[in-house]
């Protein structure tokens, strides 16, 4: 659903230059302040104990989100390719895993914009720390840091996305919080790709 409170918008011709007061604007009013349209996506994921990679396609029908019947504003189709590796780091001379490193790489293409992101995160007894760099063909560059915790049936993470080239620090960045629950108990061994119970690798 795409919605807009048109009455709250102020256009250039709706301001009196002498008094600064708001006056009626000649901007065309949309037929409706909201539009509901179907949108579809699909994807594939392949994985084993050491690697996983996948492909996703969003906005396959390129739906029109415009509120004006005389104009079109189609959402371009978006394609994503991602690759990740699972690299356990063991204590020297032992089979007990000290931590797990996961380097990953993501390519996205939508319309005229392509973005490339690479980075790594580390897991140690349920605690996750990550760092990524993302750049686009429009010469924008972002740094992303993440900290999270993974329990037996849930995981949570907080990430901070900061633009370092383009708008820069004036944008103040963006914060994202995610919380996930597993709908079934994985028991003694994980049944989901790359989801590990803290301590399950430790030798008793």
- Exposure string for 172-192, b = 16+ CB within 10 A, e = fewer: ebeeeeeeeeeeeeeeeeeee
The token duo for 1 is 């659903």
State residue 44's pLDDT score.
Answer: 95
Q: ∠ CA 137-142-145 to the nearest 5 degrees?
A: 145
How crowded is residue 155: how many other Cβ atoms within 10 Å of its Cβ? 17
Distance of alpha carbon 53 from alpha carbon 31, whole angstroms: 44
How crowded is residue 142: how many other Cβ atoms within 10 Å of its Cβ? 21
- Domains (range + CATH), the chain: 37-181 (2.40.160)
- Tokens 């302040």 — which residue? 33
Distance of alpha carbon 93 from alpha carbon 153, whole angstroms: 32
State residue 95's pLDDT score.
Answer: 56
Task: Identify the bridge partners of residue 161 per DSSP, sorted by sequence position.
Answer: 144, 174
Kindly indicate the confidence band of residue 138, based on its pLDDT and cuts at 50, 70 and 90.
Answer: confident
- Give one DSSP letter per residue of 105-166, joined into a string: EEEEEETTEEEEEEEEEEEETTEEEEEEEEEETTS-EEEEEEEEEE-SSEEEEEEEEEEEES
Kindly indicate the confidence band of residue 203, based on its pLDDT and cuts at 50, 70 and 90.
Answer: very low
54-113 pLDDT, tens digit each: 999 999 999 998 888 888 899 999 999 999 998 887 766 555 567 888 999 999 999 999
Question: In terms of pLDDT, which residue wins out, 202 or 178?
Answer: 178
157-183 pLDDT, tens digit each: 999 998 887 665 666 788 999 998 877
Q: Give the SS3 label for residue 48.
A: coil
1-53 pLDDT, tens digit each: 888 888 888 888 888 888 888 888 888 888 888 889 999 999 999 988 788 89
In this prediction the pTM is 0.69
Phi then psi for 8, rounded to 5 degrees? -90, 0
């Amino acid at each position: 659903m795409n919605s807009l409170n048109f009455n709250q918008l102020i256009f250039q011709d709706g301001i009196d230059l002498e008094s600064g007061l708001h006056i009626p604007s000649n901007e065309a009013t949309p037929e409706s302040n909201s539009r509901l349209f179907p949108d579809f996506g699909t994807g594939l994921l392949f994985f084993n104990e050491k690697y996983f990679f996948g492909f996703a396609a969003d906005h396959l029908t390129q739906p029109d989100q415009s509120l004006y019947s005389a104009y079109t504003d189609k959402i371009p189709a978006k394609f994503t390719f991602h690759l990740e590796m699972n690299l356990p780091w063991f204590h020297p001379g032992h089979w007990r895993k000290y931590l797990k490193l996961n380097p990953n790489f993501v390519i996205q293409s939508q319309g005229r914009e392509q973005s490339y992101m690479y980075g790594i995160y580390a897991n140690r007894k349920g605690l996750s720390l990550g760092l990524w760099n993302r750049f686009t063909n429009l010469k924008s560059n972002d740094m992303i840091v993440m900290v999270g915790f993974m329990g037996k049936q849930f995981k949570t993470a907080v990430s901070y996305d900061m633009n370092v080239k383009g708008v820069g620090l004036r944008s103040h960045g963006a914060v994202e919080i995610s919380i996930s629950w597993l709908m079934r108990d994985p028991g003694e061994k994980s049944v989901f790709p790359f989801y590990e119970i803290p301590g399950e690798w430790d030798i008793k």
